[in-house]
């Protein structure tokens, strides 16, 4: 069985926010004072997440990503990592993490043989990293990345949110990491979010400018889109490099036309889109002894809510929906 939405997009990916909690307060994502938290009883249990994933697999969804908040900050997350790693026909399990706790979980993830990692890292300068994340220690993330590389994970990505006047002096250094490391450095356009998170639009840099900046002193070779993936990033390689570069232009060139995902929030809402559309209260269904048909219906209803394209910048709440 497959899910196809109103605009003939085949839905085959699910992004799961496992917690709204985060151990960092990145300036573009959360206010310094933190956010009101979702009551714990409203957060999906690991068993409920596993029920959703098992059902999604039956509907042709084979690719899953854990995000948050910070997924590795949820208590006993190793249990969920193992439970998901055990589900048949799950082809692709990815985790988006800030990397602070990563080294504690790489062995478990490696053991299942199914995980790949996207690690967010906006600066390689310890003081600047601490300012952007409001207190994070760069050394923890670098240790995490080293252990991922040592253990030979495939398709590891470093996500860099590009911010004018903040980390644009480091784009070249980030790009050159790919010369001898087997990973993809992905530059992500900065999105204007909720007012409270102090985002100001003049930090925005269009992806085309970043490509030009890196192209100035490096020979970039364009690569074909990967087989597995939503085509969100344009990928390149610096001539002679081991790794690759990705450019995600969600703002200047939205990729809604090829969007093939649904999102599950930590409190169990199945959402059509990060920025617009609507949601289905899957938690309510999960907690009322659902039949297979009711679960299937929830997925179809959420897919039907997917807009052809999102409404623009909007007031997304990345930390709640899960970036």
Query: For binding to ligand SAM (CB under 6 A), which residues are involved?
Result: 22, 28-29, 67-68, 70, 96-98, 120, 159, 161, 188, 190-191, 193, 199, 318-319, 323
What does the block give as tokens for 54?
A: 């098992």
Smallest distance, ligand SAM to C-beta of residue 88, A:
27
Backbone angles phi, psi at 301, to 5 degrees: -65, -40
Select from 71, 73, 72, 158 the least CA-distant residue to 123: 158
Smallest distance, ligand SAM to C-beta of residue 22, A:
6
Pick between residue 5 and residue 20 the one whose CB is nearest to ligand SAM: 20
Pick between residue 12 and residue 159 the one whose CB is nearest to ligand SAM: 159
For residues 96 and 69, what is the distance between their CA atoms, to the nearest angstrom? Answer: 10
Smallest distance, ligand SAM to C-beta of residue 267, A:
16
Smallest distance, ligand SAM to C-beta of residue 29, A:
4
Pick between residue 96 and residue 156 the one whose CB is nearest to ligand SAM: 96
49 SS3 class = helix
Beta bridge partners of 63: 13, 92
Cα atoms found within 13 Å of the Cα of residue 262, Cβ hemisphere only: 32
Smallest distance, ligand SAM to C-beta of residue 202, A:
14
Do 72 and 103 meet the contact criterion of CB atoms below 8 Å apart?
Answer: no
Pick between residue 63 and residue 120 the one whose CB is nearest to ligand SAM: 120
Which residue's C-beta sits nearest to ligand SAM? 323
Smallest distance, ligand SAM to C-beta of residue 299, A:
23
Pick between residue 97 and residue 265 the one whose CB is nearest to ligand SAM: 97
Q: What is the DSSP string of 104-158?
A: GTHHHHHHHT-EEEEEE---SSHHHHHHHHTS--HHHHHHHHHHHHHTT-SS-EE
Pick between residue 96 and residue 235 the one whose CB is nearest to ligand SAM: 96
């Amino acid at each position: 069985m497959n899910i196809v939405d109103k605009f003939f997009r085949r839905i085959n990916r699910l992004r799961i926010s496992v917690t709204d909690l985060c151990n960092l307060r990145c300036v573009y994502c959360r206010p310094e004072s933190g956010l009101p938290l979702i009551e714990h009883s409203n957060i999906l249990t690991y068993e409920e997440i596993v029920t959703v994933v098992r059902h999604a697999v039956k509907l042709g969804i084979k690719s899953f990503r854990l995000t948050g908040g910070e997924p590795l900050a949820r208590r006993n997350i190793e249990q969920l990592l193992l439970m998901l790693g055990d589900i048949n026909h799950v082809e692709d399990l990815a985790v988006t993490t800030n990397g602070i706790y990563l080294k504690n979980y790489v062995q478990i993830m490696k053991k299942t043989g199914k995980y790949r990692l996207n690690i967010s890292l906006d600066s390689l300068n310890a003081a600047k990293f601490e300012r952007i994340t409001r207190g994070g220690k760069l050394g923890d993330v670098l240790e995490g990345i080293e252990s991922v590389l040592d253990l030979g994970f495939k398709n590891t990505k470093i996500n860099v949110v590009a911010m004018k006047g903040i980390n644009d002096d480091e784009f070249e250094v980030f790009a050159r990491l790919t010369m001898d490391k087997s990973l993809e450095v992905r530059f992500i356009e900065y999105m204007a979010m909720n007012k409270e998170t102090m985002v100001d639009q003049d930090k925005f840099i269009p992806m085309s400018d970043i490509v030009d900046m890196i192209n100035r002193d490096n020979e970039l070779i364009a690569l074909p889109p990967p087989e597995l993936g939503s085509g969100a990033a344009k990928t390149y390689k610096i001539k002679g490099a081991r790794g690759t570069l990705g450019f995600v232009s969600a703002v200047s060139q939205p990729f809604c036309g090829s969007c093939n995902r649904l999102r599950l929030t930590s409190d169990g809402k199945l959402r059509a889109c990060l920025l617009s559309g609507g949601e289905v209260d899957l938690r309510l269904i999960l907690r009322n002894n659902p039949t297979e048909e009711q679960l299937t219906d929830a997925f179809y209803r959420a897919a039907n809510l997917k807009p052809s394209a999102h409404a623009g910048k909007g007031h997304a709440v990345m930390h709640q929906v899960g970036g």
